[in-house]
Structure 1
Amino acid sequence: MYAYCGSVKEAIWEFDEIDDNGNISWNSVMAASTRNQKLEQAVEFWHQMPIPDKISYNELINGFAQFGNIDGAIEIQSHMPNSNSSSWNAIIT
């Protein structure tokens, strides 16, 4: 909700209040960052994640591609275990 309103600080505050963050909360805070033009912050969250999943990778790939950093998107995708059509679609579009 906060991300859609552009309130990344509040989204991060809510994330920090969760005692046991799972991939859903990690991916949500990454999405809040990438969708509000805070790609570096999303990368920091991605590096802190215990075990990034396909959604984590795709969110980051999409963020890089949206900002025109195709090389960065391809670099992230190359480290993605079992890349899928969603990751390639984010890079192509």
Structure 2
Amino acid sequence: MGTRHKLVSVDMLVKRMEAKSFSARRLARYAECVPGTIDNLIAGRTQSLNKGRTAELICEALDVPMDLFFVPEKTSTAGQTNKQKVAA
């Protein structure tokens, strides 16, 4: 099981980006991710990040505590299949 990081509020993210003069492209560069990741977060097309490091860097860039913007979200392994060996 992995941990994703769910964005608490798009509005808070956008307001903080504006306050700190961060464009989506600039924030993506700082967070070491592709600009589409930030674009998707602020457009509401995605709510979670797979990489905790990306969430950490976003918060570092915007000078906010991690738990203000992101909460841990456990991912399930329900979609994975377990194959059993069958004796021939």
TM-score, structure 2 as length reference:
0.29
Structure with max Cα Rg: 2
TM-score, structure 1 as length reference:
0.29
Structure with more of its chain in strand, by fraction: 2
Structure with more of its chain in helix, by fraction: 1
Could you say which structure has the greater relative contact order, defined with CA pairs below 8 angstroms and 6 or more residues apart? 2
